[in-house]
Amino acid sequence: MTGTRTQSRRAMLGIAALVLLTAMLSVGLGARGVALADILSALQGQVETIGQAAVAARIPRTLMALLAGAALGLAGAAMQGVTRNPLADPGLLGVNAGAALAIVIGIAWFNIDSAALYIGTAVLGAGGAGIIVYLIAALGAGGATPLKLALSGAAVTAALVSFTTAVVLPRADIGGLVQSWLVGGVGGATFSQITPVLPALVLGGVIVLASPRRLNLLALGEEAATGLGESVAVARAMSAGGAILLCGATTAACGPIGFVGLVVPHACRAILGGDYRRVLPASALTGAALLTGADVLGRLVARPSEIDVGIVTALIGGPVFIWIVRRGRVAAL
Amino acid sequence: MSGAAGIQRQRRARLTRRLRFLGLCAMLVLALCALILSLGQSFTPPATVLRVLGGEAVPGAGFTVLQLRLPRAVVGALAGLSFGMGGAAFQTLLRNPLASPDIIGISAGASAAAVFAITVLGLAGLPVAVVAVTAGLGIALLIYLLSWRQGVAGARLILVGIGLSGMMQSLTAYMLSQAESWTLQAAMRWMTGSLNGVQLEQALPLLAALAICGGVLLIAAPALEVMRMGDETAAGLGVRTGAVRAAVVVAAVGLVAVATAMVGPVAFVAFLSGPIAARMTGRDGSLLLPAALVGAVLVLTADYAGQFWLPARYPVGIVTGVLGAPYLLFLIIRSNRTGGGL
C-alpha cells in the first residue's frame, strides 16, 4: 500500500513539474526569440522593447492554455467515468460543436455581446449536444457502446457544423467568425478574456473534483453502485453537469479543442491506476501540461507563423485514439 | 405458386422493379438538369436552352446557360454518380452501411491532399486529382493496416476511420488557414463540398474516372454480389476474392477521390446513396448502378435547394450534411432495436 502511495505521489510531483516546465517554455519560447534578460524584466511588468512586449503577451496566453487544458482534461476524465466509455471526449461527443453552434446563434440572431452571455449560451449548447449524443447512443439494447457513441458523436457533430455554417454564411458581418469556430486556439488571449470564464471553470472544476467517490462507484457498474446506496442518476448528472460546464466555458473562450479530454485520462490511468481520487487531479494537471506544451510546439514548428493548438492536439490525439481502439479493450472500463 | 415457375416469376418481378427504378432515376437526373439549365435567378425558356446548347449564340442567355448553369449541372451530376457508386461499392464490400468512404475518412484524406496540392504545391486541374487519388489509396491502406488485428473487425475499422478522419479534417483546416487568399468559399468547398464556381473542364477527370473506375466496378459487381454471402462461400463458387477486393477498393477510392478533388467532400452523399437505393430497389442485385443514380439525384437536388429554396445561398455540402446526419442517427437507433449490425 505505502509503496503505491509513494509511487503515485512521485508521479503527481512529476506531472506538476511538467506543468511548471511547459508554462516556463510557453512564456520563454515563441515565434520571436527573446533574450533571457528581456523575459525576466517582462515578467516584472516592463514592456519597453519588442521582446518584452512579446513576452508580456505570452503570459495571458499561457494562463489560458493552462486553464483550458486543465478544464478539458478534467472534463474528459469525468465523461469517461460517467459514460464508462474509453472513447468519451468533449470533441468526439459533439459537446464542443454544440457550444460553437449555440454561440454563433446567439451572436447572429440574439445579438449577445457580453462575455457572461457567451459562456451561458455555450454551456447550454454543450449540454444539449452532449445529452442528445449520449441518449441516441444509449437507445435500445446494448447501451452506449464505444462504437455507437463515436458514431452518434460524429453524426451530430457533422450536423452541428453544417448548421453553424448555415447560420453564419448569410451574415457577411460575422462571416470571419466561421474560421475561429472550426479550429480552436489560445493565440491572442488576453486577461480580459480569461476573467469572465474563471467562475464557470472554478465551479465546474469543484463539482468534478468533488466527485471521485461517485465515479469510483459508477465504475463498479450500475447495480453495484445502487447496492452501495448511491443514486446512479444523481451521480451521473452531477459529474456530467460539471464536465459540461467546463467544456462550454472552454469552448466559449478558445473555440473547439478536441482530443485533450480523450488522451489525458488514459495516460493518467496508465500511470496511476483506475482510482478517480488520483485520476481526476492528475488529469487536470496533465491536461494543462499537454495543452500548453502543444501550444508551444505549434508556435515553434511553423516559425515564423503559428499552428493553432486545436490542430496540434488533433494531430497528437488522433493516433492515440487509434491506439486505444487497436488495443481492443474498447468494451472494457 | 410452386417450383421453378414461381421463382422465375418472382425474379422477373424483381428485375422489372429494378429496371423501373433505374429508368425513373435516370429520368429524374435529366429532369433536374433541365430544371437547373432553365430556371435559376432568371427563367430561360427550354427552347432557348436547347438553342444555346446547340451552339447558337443567344445574347443574354448564352453566358448564363453555358458558363453558370451547365458546369453546375454536369459536374454536379458526375460527382454525384461517382460518390454514389464509390460509396455503395465500399458498403457492399465491407457489408456495413457505415463503412462508407465519407465516414471512414477517405473523403477527408482526399480533400486534405487536394488542398495540399493546391495551396502548397500550387497545382491545378488534373494533377490535383492524381494527388487526391494517391492520398485516398494511401488512407485506405492505412485504415486497413491500422485496423488489422487477427482479421479486420467492422467496428475497429470504422473507429480507426473516424480517428483518421478527425486528423485529416484538422490538417485541411490548418492548410486553409495558412493559405494566402483565405476565402470562405474556398474553405466551404474543402470542408463540406460545394459546386460554386465549378468549370466545365472539371467534368473531364470525372468522366475519365467514371469510365475507368466505374467500368471496373460494374465488371466486378457480380463477383461482389457473390462475396456478400461470405468470402469462403464466394471462393467455393470460384470467385477470386483477393483480386476482386483489391480491384473494388482501388476503383471505389479512385471515384470518390476524383470527385472530392473536383467539388470537395460533399457530406454524406457516398454514405446515403447506397441505403436509399437498397430501400427503393428492395436490395436485389448489385446496388452500384442504382446508388450512382441516387447520388446524382441527391447532389443536384441538394445543390438546387441550397441555391434557390432556402433564405440564403448555401453550398451543396451544407444541405447534404444537415440531411445526412438524421439518417445516420436513425441507422444507429435502428441497429440498436434489432440488436445487430454495429
Q: What is the mean pLDDT of residues B36-40?
A: 87
Q: By the CB < 8 Å criterion, does B326 face chain A?
A: yes
The answer to whether the CB atoms of B318 and A154 lie below 8 A apart is no
The answer to whether the CB atoms of A322 and B160 lie below 8 A apart is yes
Q: Is the pLDDT of residue B183 over 70?
A: no
Q: Which domains does chain B have, with CATH numbers?
A: 71-338 (1.10.3470.10)
pLDDT digits (tens, 9 = 90+) for B269-320: 999 999 889 888 876 778 899 999 999 999 999 999 988 888 778 889 889 9
% of chain A surpassing 70 pLDDT: 91
Q: By the CB < 8 Å criterion, does B98 face chain A?
A: yes
Q: What is the mean pLDDT of residues A218-227?
A: 75
pLDDT of residue A331: 40
Question: How near does any CA of chain B get to the CA of A311, in Å?
Answer: 5
Question: How near does any CA of chain B get to the CA of A284, in Å?
Answer: 23
Residue appearing with cell numbers 451521473:
A236
Residues 41-70, chain B: which have Cβ within 8 Å of A?
none
Q: Check if the beta carbon of residue B223 is closer than 8 Å to that of residue B234.
A: yes
Q: Is the pLDDT of residue B236 over 90?
A: no
Rounded to 5 degrees, φ, ψ at B148 are: -80, 125
Residue appearing with cell numbers 432556402:
B310
Residue B208: exposed, middle, or buried by beta-carbon count in 10 A (0-12, 13-18, 19+)? middle
Q: Which residues contact A302 (CB under 8 A, 6 or more apart)?
A: none
User: Which of the two residues, A275 and A32, has the higher pLDDT score?
Assistant: A275
Which superfamily does A2-326 belong to? Answer: ABC transporter involved in vitamin B12 uptake, BtuC (1.10.3470.10)
Residue B198: exposed, middle, or buried by beta-carbon count in 10 A (0-12, 13-18, 19+)? buried
Coil, strand or helix at A185: coil
Question: Which of the residues B159, B191, B269, B309 would you substitute to probe the A interface, choosing the one with the greatest number of A C-beta atoms within 10 Å?
Answer: B159
- What is the Cα–Cα distance from B83 to B96, expressed in whole angstroms? 17
The answer to whether the CB atoms of A258 and B166 lie below 8 A apart is yes
Q: Is the pLDDT of residue A64 over 50?
A: yes
Q: Give the pLDDT band (50/70/90) at residue A285.
A: very high
Count of CB atoms situated within 10 Å of the CB of B11: 11
pLDDT of residue A156: 86
Q: What is the mean pLDDT of residues A201-221?
A: 86
Task: Read off the C-alpha cell for B301.
Answer: 437536388
pLDDT of residue A131: 87
The residue among B106, B110, B104 whose CA lies nearest residue B158 is: B104
Tell me the C-alpha to C-alpha distance, in Å, between residue B162 and each of A286, B52, B168.
Answer: 25, 46, 10
DSSP character at residue A306: -
Q: What is the mean pLDDT of chain A?
A: 83
**pTM of the full structure:** 0.83
Angle (deg, nearest 10), helices B154-178 and A309-326: 170
Domain boundaries, chain A: 2-326
Here the ipTM equals 0.79
User: Which of the two residues, A175 and A293, has the higher pLDDT score?
Assistant: A293
pLDDT of residue A35: 75
Q: Which residues contact A44 (CB under 8 A, 6 or more apart)?
A: none
Rounded to 5 degrees, φ, ψ at B175 are: -65, -35
Return the residue of A nearest to B341 by Cα. A148
Task: Read off the C-alpha cell for B132.
Answer: 487526391
Chain A residue numbers with beta carbons less than 8 Å from the beta carbon of B321 are: 158-159, 161-162
Q: Is the pLDDT of residue A276 over 80?
A: yes
Chain A residue numbers with beta carbons less than 8 Å from the beta carbon of B307 are: none
Question: How near does any CA of chain A get to the CA of B285, in Å?
Answer: 29
Residue appearing with cell numbers 485533450:
A260
Of A169, A314, A322, the CB nearest to B312: A169
DSSP character at residue B308: I
